[in-house]
Structure 1
Amino acid sequence: MTASIGFRPTPDDERILHEAARPGETTSDTLRRALRLLDHERWLEQFRSDAEGLKGENVNAEPEAW
């Protein structure tokens, strides 16, 4: 799947991109890294939610599945 994404950064976006960029990193690299971090944060949020829901579960009380 290919997508063409347009992005017109605001002055505040420009500031954030400039501050977040690592040496030698392009704006695209910085945005890719930020998207991966966002994806990871969403994964962690789901993980924490699932863990909270299973907090009282006692797997030792369940019969062996195999």
Structure 2
Amino acid sequence: MTRGSQRERDRERAAARVGGKGKNAEDGLTPEQRRERDGKALQEKAAKKAAQAAAASSGGGAGGKGTAKK
């Protein structure tokens, strides 16, 4: 009988972990609209990453990936 309450707690924890994240098929968009939205988000993300890479390469060598603590 004690296992039943454990299952319920596990379900609550799993639901809390997922939260509001995840895919939501009920967003009211058609597949075409979803593709456009996602494509635009990917382009913005790539542009932001390219800008950061350009800033890191022109910023000198301090604080880059090559620094290691000893």
Of structures 1 and 2, the larger Rg is shown by 2
Q: Structure with the greater relative contact order (CA < 8 A, sep ≥ 6): 1 or 2?
A: 1
User: Under a length normalisation based on structure 1, what TM-score does the superposition of the two structures give?
Assistant: 0.48
